[in-house]
Structure 1
Amino acid sequence: MIKKLAGVMLYVDSQEESVKFWKETLGFTVVSEEELPEGYKAVEVAPDSRSETTVTIFDKAFIKKYSPELHIGTPSLMFETDDAGALYEEMKARGVTVGEMTEMDGSKVFNFKDAEDNYFAVSEADRT
């Protein structure tokens, strides 16, 4: 039986730039780095070391070569925060392109763009 989503794989054109964005711009932690064939690597990042779900960043060139059957499109990810307003302002101050803050089912929601023009969403946690 499946118990939870442990991680997401993100395939990017520039792994170095992507890791830099998640780590330096968003403040994520590098959980692990795994050496792969031909000098490629897999870099696992997460909001912090206690996160249940991680994002592992792979170079698209590696995936195309070693797993050509995989779909390399960007997944639609929804992150959660306790204070969407504060995170929204913090991201804007760090130069992150953010979409308009909206409400969905009573929660504040916005999207943001990474270094490769992929969009991801953030929703405020239900405080009830």
Structure 2
Amino acid sequence: MIRGVNQVVLYVEDQEVAKRFWVETLGFALDQDEPYGDERWLSVVSPDGATKLVLSKRQPGWTAPEVRDGIPHSNVFFYTDDVEKTYRELTEKGVDFPEPPSKQFFGWWSMFSDPDGTRYALGQRWGTSQG
């Protein structure tokens, strides 16, 4: 039986810049950084230890999906226990938030961008407070 998601590939322009962003700024743990054929296998693990992100070099000609403003580019949604607190902490570290926290019918959410401008959703974990 499938039990969950183990890893997700994120396409990045510069793996070194992405590594610093995900590890130093967002607090993910470095998992692997090894040669992989003619490329580099670079992965980080979420602070809860549940998900590995493979930071893969974008291939020439790759473009982010076109989406309207206010919508993430990525299908990967991240969670936190307190969206407003995380927004304040990460904004102080220079993370761009095209969408500040707001309460929606489905709960609290926000949206942040990585150094390449890829937008990711950030939601409140189910079952936590913040009404």
TM-score range, shorter chain: 0.7 to 0.9
Aligned to 1:94: 93
Deviation for aligned residue 1:106? 4.7
Deviation for aligned residue 1:105? 2.9
Map 1:107-118 onto structure 2 (within 5 A): 107-118=107-118
Q: If the length of structure 1 is used for normalisation, what is the TM-score?
A: 0.81
Q: If the length of structure 2 is used for normalisation, what is the TM-score?
A: 0.79
Q: Pick from 31, 43, 55 the counterpart of residue 57 of structure 1.
A: 55
Query: Secondary structure of the equivalent of 2:120?
Result: strand
Query: Secondary structure of the equivalent of 1:57?
Result: strand
Map 1:7-86 onto structure 2 (within 5 A): 7-38=7-38, 40-48=39-47, 50-61=48-59, 73=64, 75-86=74-85
Larger strand proportion of the pair? 2
Q: For the aligned residues, what is the CA RMSD?
A: 2.2
CA distance in 1, matches of 2:122, 2:74: 14
CA distance in 1, matches of 2:4, 2:127: 22
Deviation for aligned residue 1:4? 1.4
Of the structure 1 ranges 27-36 and 111-120, higher mean CA displacement relative to structure 2 is found in 27-36
2:80 maps to a residue whose letter is T
Identity of aligned residues (%): 25
Task: Mark the runs of 5 or more structure 1 residues left unpaired by the alignment.
Answer: 65-70
1:97 maps to a residue whose letter is D
Equivalent pairs counted in the alignment come to: 119
Instruction: After superposition, give the CA deviation of every residue in 1:29-70 in whole Å (9 maximum; x if it has no partner).
Output: 1112232112x211111223x512111111124xx6xxxxxx
